């Protein structure tokens, strides 16, 4: 693999994807290969979060979405969940000031009301501190599920019908997108999934209708900025027709 500068120089800055979404996968397998507890993999994976957010911001990506914790992840052992929540708190406390100084806006996709009190409070603090920032939007999908998001949107739409704010006849894809967590954002142009898996895992099911996918066998803790640049270059070499010719 070329060095980061060499790969980065091949990127067409005028054809950047507006929105990149990443399914961060493989932390547990990374730790298992090294005979370490799974949370060691999550800790190493958080280092990649810092690196990839920085790289995406520097290159000029407008929206970056990271799948951090799904609604299904509550099925994992309690010690792993507790470890993940501690890592989340450590990350926010360590990186919030830098994110804010870089004009990055933190947005959450998912229902954070179900998080333990400390991580929930730290997330709310991060949202409040960065809410007026105008640079890259960093979406963190936290207690997120694509099906839940769609059902939530339907319920909100029905409430607005009951209140007379909107009618059934008004419903179309553009209107419904305003009832999703990604309201006001472009749909992801590029979905990246490391670790060798090739499935969606209940991620952004409505928004990815015309997203391009890029897969890698690299486990997330080994995913470096070089891989991000490779994905972007591959995306730029594709022909996106959106159903046309």
Task: Exactly one of 25, 27, 107, 187 is catalytic; name it.
Answer: 25
User: DSSP state, 167?
Assistant: -
- Between β-strands 105-109 and 19-23, what pairing exists: parallel, antiparallel or unpaired? unpaired
The candidate with the shortest Cα–Cα distance to 185, out of 95, 62, 70, is 62
List the 212-215 sheet strands across, edge first. 105-109, 137-144, 63-70, 19-23, 190-193, 212-215
Distance CA 165, CA 145 (A): 27
Distance CA 144, CA 67 (A): 8
CA dihedral sign, ordered 207, 200, 190, 92: positive
Identify whether the C-beta of residue 62 lies closer than 8 Å to the C-beta of residue 135: no
| Known catalytic membership, residue 10 | no
Coil vs helix vs strand at 36: coil
Task: Exactly one of 10, 27, 39, 73 is catalytic; name it.
Answer: 73
Q: How far is CA 90 from CA 43, 153, 162, 198, 224, in A?
A: 10, 32, 43, 30, 21
Distance CA 193, CA 162 (A): 40
| Known catalytic membership, residue 160 | no
Only one residue has tokens 């060798």, namely 196
Q: Which residues are catalytic?
A: 25, 73
């Amino acid at each position: 693999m070329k060095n980061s500068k060499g790969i980065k120089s091949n990127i067409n800055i005028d054809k950047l994807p507006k929105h990149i979404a990443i399914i961060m996968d493989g932390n547990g397998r990374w730790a298992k290969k090294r005979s370490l507890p799974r949370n060691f993999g999550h800790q190493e994976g958080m280092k990649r979060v810092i690196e990839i957010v920085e790289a995406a911001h520097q290159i000029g990506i407008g929206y970056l979405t990271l799948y951090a914790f799904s609604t299904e992840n509550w099925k994992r052992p309690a010690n792993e969940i507790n470890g993940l929540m501690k890592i989340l708190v450590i990350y926010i406390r360590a990186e919030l000031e830098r994110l804010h100084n870089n004009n990055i806006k933190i947005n959450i996709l998912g229902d954070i009301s179900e998080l333990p009190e400390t991580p929930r409070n730290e997330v709310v603090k991060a949202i409040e501190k960065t809410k007026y920032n105008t640079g890259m939007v960093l979406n963190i999908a936290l207690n997120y599920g694509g099906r839940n998001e769609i059902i939530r949107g339907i319920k909100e739409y029905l409430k607005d019908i009951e209140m007379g704010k909107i009618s059934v006849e008004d419903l179309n894809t553009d209107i419904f997108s305003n009832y999703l967590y990604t309201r006001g954002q472009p749909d992801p142009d590029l979905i990246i999934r490391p670790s060798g898996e090739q499935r969606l895992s209940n991620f952004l099911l409505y928004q990815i209708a015309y997203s391009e996918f890029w897969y890698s066998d690299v486990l997330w803790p080994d995913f470096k900025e070089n891989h991000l640049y490779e994905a972007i270059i591959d995306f730029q070499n594709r022909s996106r027709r959106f159903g046309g010719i």
